[in-house]
């Protein structure tokens, strides 16, 4: 994921960062990743803690972040992962459900 669209990165003028996370498909635990960005050492600490504690990505995803805060990029990274996991069949089902209930 690029930091190009992250609000805090934009307001700080540091949008050239990138991060990637590797997630276990069964447990949804963080298995590793990489981050290249200004202050990456501080930003990655949350993900390292989650990995060491064997937490699922949902623990980071469901966290409430103040806005705008630099570590919110971790939540956005997991959101992108979750969006890629949704199959086209599930997308169609959700689209139909949305039409029925809206």
In a domain, 26, yes or no: yes
Q: Which residue carries 């991060």 as its tokens?
A: 19
The confidence score (pLDDT) of residue 61 equals 83
In a domain, 40, yes or no: yes
Per this entry, what is the length of the chain? 102
In a domain, 1, yes or no: no
CA dist., res. 3 & res. 52, Å (int): 24
The confidence score (pLDDT) of residue 84 equals 78
Selected residue with higher pLDDT from 15 and 87: 15
Confidence label for 32 from pLDDT (cuts 50, 70 and 90): confident
- Token duo for residue 90: 């599930």
Q: By residue range, what is the domain housing residue 46? A: 7-101
CATH of the domain at 16: 3.30.390.30
The number of domains in the chain is 1
In a domain, 2, yes or no: no
Task: Give the pTM.
Answer: 0.67
Res. 33: pLDDT tops 80: yes
Straight-line distance from the first to the last Cα atom of the chain, in angstroms, rounded to the nearest whole number: 32
In a domain, 72, yes or no: yes
Res. 68: pLDDT tops 80: no
* Tens-digit pLDDT profile for residues 36-59: 988 888 888 988 998 899 888 888
In a domain, 70, yes or no: yes
CA dist., res. 61 & res. 64, Å (int): 8
In a domain, 39, yes or no: yes
């Amino acid at each position: 994921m690029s930091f190009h669209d992250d609000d805090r990165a934009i307001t700080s003028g540091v949008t050239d960062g990138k991060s990637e996370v590797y997630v276990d498909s069964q447990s949804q635990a963080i298995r590793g990743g990489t981050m290249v960005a200004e202050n990456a050492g501080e930003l990655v600490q949350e993900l390292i803690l989650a990995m060491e504690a064997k937490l699922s990505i949902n623990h980071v995803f469901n966290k409430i972040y103040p806005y705008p805060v630099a570590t919110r990029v971790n939540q956005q990274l997991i959101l992108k992962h979750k969006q890629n996991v949704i199959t086209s069949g599930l997308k169609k089902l959700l689209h139909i459900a949305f039409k029925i209930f809206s």
